Amino acid sequence: MDIIETIKEQIANNTVLLYMKGSPNAPQCGFSARAAQAVMACGEKFAYVDILQNPEIRANLPKYANWPTFPQLWVGGELVGGSDIMAELFEKGELQDLIKSAVQKTDA
């Protein structure tokens, strides 16, 4: 399977998906740590992909997403953004609402 197809499949099959450096419990950069903390604080299950373990995804996702940096949060098949956007949305309470409503739609 081609790497873009793999990325599309990951996004389609996971309501909340975080592409990051490292894992939520062992992030490998400050931005990924902030992003993972914000998503975990929303209280819903989420999937993640460690781009350091997946160099093909690391190389191709920025082109596919039209977003140059990591981490990247995808909710309900849509790119939310990077750690600054996630932190901003979290502080306003919008990230929690976005994630909860996407998860509820999937569970319904």
- State how far the Cα of 108 lies from the Cα of 99, in Å rounded to an integer: 14
42 assigned ligand-binding residue = no
Amino acid at 65: A
Q: Is 34 flagged in the annotation as binding?
A: no
Q: How many helices and strands, by DSSP H and E, does the chain display? A: 5, 6
Residues 6+ apart with CB under 8 A from 12: 77
Q: Are the C-beta atoms of residues 47 and 9 closer than 8 Å to each other?
A: no
Q: Which residues make up each annotated binding site for [2Fe-2S] cluster?
A: 29
Q: Which residues make up each annotated binding site?
A: 21, 29, 58, 70, 83-84
Q: Which residues make up each annotated binding site for glutathione?
A: 21, 58, 70, 83-84
